[in-house]
């Protein structure tokens, strides 16, 4: 029997991309609410109870409300919002970091945020291996396509077509900081400088490491090898060869949906400074692709089914 999936928030940016990735899959039956019903509490409650798995593509408050509406149902969750990423009782849905078995057996999975997906892939394995200090005040410089801000930001960027770059998060309290700190095991939240570029999708997450000043014992070769070993065999995460480092990293305005995650390492000539950089699609491994990967794992299916890699 097909697994019944309810996407709460199916008309939003992430929800639409999840529907697209599920299209034509016989192993899933989609429960859909029409435009008149999709915000009705009663209709959502009924669908949440009828589903085997509910995928929440909602603002945080509505995601919390959905969990409350489903109480007593036994429905499993994948939450794309940031409501439950450091919450008790929720499994952080980053299988490469926390293990596939943990996701497979979870009832409540919280999808990582798009920026934390890049940051954690670069930093968590190295801190865990003792190659980078947990006590260092890390910085993260990142740019995202404007779809990262959902319907509201898409509307704004498509109306204000003269925006060349948008720096934000200037009050330093971005909602992704707790999950970056928690899941990398850091003593301090990173200093995070996000920006938005006038392209629809795509993201670069750049972590500068002044290795010499940090007192890190590892050099670029050791860090790169540790990342390559950690993600070896992953069909989703690719560590770019050190000897073939590109001289620039681009995002393209015409980019099509992509569910992979690329990791790069760069060093200054004397090795004193390193930049670890992740490139991903904020709507792919940063949101909808990750949700499908988690859904596959939770349902005992090949993890890359329906993904574009
Ligand atoms: N965009 C991205 O790159 C990423 C997004 N996320 C997260 O995923 C979630 C969804 O984001 P995104 O798709 O971008 O946002 P959107 O704003 O594009 O979509 C949100 C959808 O939720 C609907 N909605 C709002 N309140 C309710 C409610 N009470 N009941 C039912 N539906 C409701 C909205 O309705 P309406 O259409 O009427 O506005 C909209 O369709 C957010 O938590 C976001 O942070 C996570 C990773 C990346
Ligand atoms: C460009 C932009 O606005 N991006 C969003 C993050 C998108 C995302 O990852 O949403 P989650 O927090 O649910 O993970 C932001 O900075 O708030």
**Which ligand 1 atom is at minimum distance from the Cα of 9?**
22
Please list, in sequence order, all residues whose beta carbon lies within 8 angstroms of the beta carbon of residue 155, skipping any fewer than 6 positions away.
Answer: none
The pLDDT value given to residue 138: 98
Distance 110 CA to ligand 1 centre (A): 15
Residue 94: is its pLDDT beyond 90?
A: yes
Residue nearest to atom 1 of ligand 2 (CA): 148
Q: What is the structure's pLDDT at 1?
A: 84
Q: Are 81 and 33 in contact (CB under 8 A)?
A: no
ipTM score of complex? 0.96
Q: In whole angstroms, what is the distance from residue 134 CA to residue 183 CA?
A: 11
Q: How far apart are the first and last CA of the chain?
A: 28
Which protein residue's CA is at the shortest distance from atom 14 of ligand 1?
150
Tell how strand 191-197 and strand 166-167 pair up: antiparallel
Residues designated catalytic: 114
What tokens appear for 197 in the block? 């570029």
At residue 217, the pLDDT reads 85
110: tokens are 């919280």
Query: Residues, the chain, total?
Result: 309
Separation of alpha carbons 143 and 79, rounded Å: 23
Show the ligand 2 pocket: residues with CB < 6 angstroms: 81-82, 113-114, 144, 148-149, 153, 175-176, 194, 196, 286
From ligand 1's centre to the CA of 202, what distance in Å? Answer: 18
Domains of the chain: 3-111+287-298 (3.40.50.720), 114-282 (3.30.360.10)
pLDDT tens by residue, 276-307: 999 999 999 999 999 999 999 999 999 999 99
Give the Å distance between the CA of 151 and the centre of ligand 2.
Answer: 12
What's the average model confidence in pLDDT over 122-142? Answer: 97
**What separation in Å is there between the alpha carbon of 58 and the centre of ligand 1?**
4
Phi, psi of 44 (to 5 degrees): -65, -40
Q: Is 287 in the pocket of ligand 1 (CB under 6 A)?
A: yes
Residue located nearest, by CA, to atom 30 of ligand 1 = 39
**What is the per-residue DSSP string for 243-254?**
GG--S-----TT
Nearest to 200 by CA among 248, 277, 252: 252
Q: Which atom of ligand 1 is nearest to the CA of 149?
A: 1
Contact assessment for residue 44 and residue 33, using Cβ atoms and an 8 Å cutoff: yes
Here the contacts of 66-71 (C-beta below 8 Å, separation 24 or greater) are 66/8, 67/108, 69/41, 69/44, 69/45, 70/45
Round to whole Å and give the CA distance between 178 and 242: 31
Beta-strand ranges (E) seen in the chain are 3-8, 28-31, 53-56, 76-79, 91-92, 108-110, 139-145, 166-167, 191-197, 203-209, 237-239, 261-267, 274-280
Local confidence band at 172 (pLDDT 50, 70, 90 cut-offs): very high
Mind listing the pLDDT tens digit for each residue in 44-90? 999 999 999 999 999 999 999 999 999 999 999 999 999 999 999 99
**Which amino acid residue places its CA nearest to atom 11 of ligand 2?**
113
Are the beta carbons of 108 and 79 closer than 8 angstroms? yes
Mean pLDDT of the chain: 97
Query: Which residue is associated with the tokens 């919390």?
Result: 64
Identify the three-state secondary structure at position 274: strand
Q: What proportions of the chain, in percent to the nearest 5, are helix, strand and coil?
A: 35, 20, 45
Distance 152 CA to ligand 2 centre (A): 12
In this structure, what are the phi and psi dihedrals at residue 280, rounded to the nearest 5 degrees? -155, 175
């Amino acid at each position: 029997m097909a697994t019944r999936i309810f996407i709460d928030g199916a008309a939003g940016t992430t929800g639409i991309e999840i529907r697209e990735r599920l299209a034509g899959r016989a192993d899933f039956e989609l429960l859909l609410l029409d435009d008149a019903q999709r915000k009705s509490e009663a209709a959502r409650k009924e669908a949440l109870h009828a589903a085997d798995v509910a995928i929440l593509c909602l603002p945080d408050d509505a995601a919390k409300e959905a969990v409350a509406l489903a109480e007593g149902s036994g429905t499993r969750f994948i939450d794309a919002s940031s409501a439950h990423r450091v919450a008790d009782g929720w499994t952080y849905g980053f299988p490469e970091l926390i293990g596939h078995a943990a996701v497979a057996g979870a009832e409540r999975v919280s999808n990582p945020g798009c920026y934390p997906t890049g940051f954690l892939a670069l930093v968590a394995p190295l801190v865990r291996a003792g190659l980078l200090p947990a006590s260092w005040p890390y910085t993260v410089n990142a740019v995202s396509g404007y779809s990262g801000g959902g319907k509201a930001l898409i509307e704004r960027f498509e109306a204000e077509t003269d925006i060349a770059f948008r720096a934000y998060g200037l009050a330093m309290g971005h909602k992704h900081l707790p999950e970056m700190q928690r899941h990398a095991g850091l003593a301090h939240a990173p200093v995070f400088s996000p920006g938005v570029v006038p392209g629809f999708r795509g993201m670069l997450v750049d972590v500068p490491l002044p290795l010499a000043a940090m007192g890190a014992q590892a050099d670029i070769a050791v860090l790169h090898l540790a990342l390559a070993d950690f993600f070896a065999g992953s069909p989703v995460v690719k560590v770019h060869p050190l000897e073939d480092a590109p001289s620039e990293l681009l995002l393209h305005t015409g980019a099509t949906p992509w569910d992979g995650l690329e990791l790069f390492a760069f060093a200054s000539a004397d090795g004193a400074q390193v930049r670890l950089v992740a490139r991903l699609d904020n709507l792919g491994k940063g949101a909808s692709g990750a949700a499908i990967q988690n859904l596959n794992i939770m349902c005992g299916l090949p993890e890359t089914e329906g993904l574009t890699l």
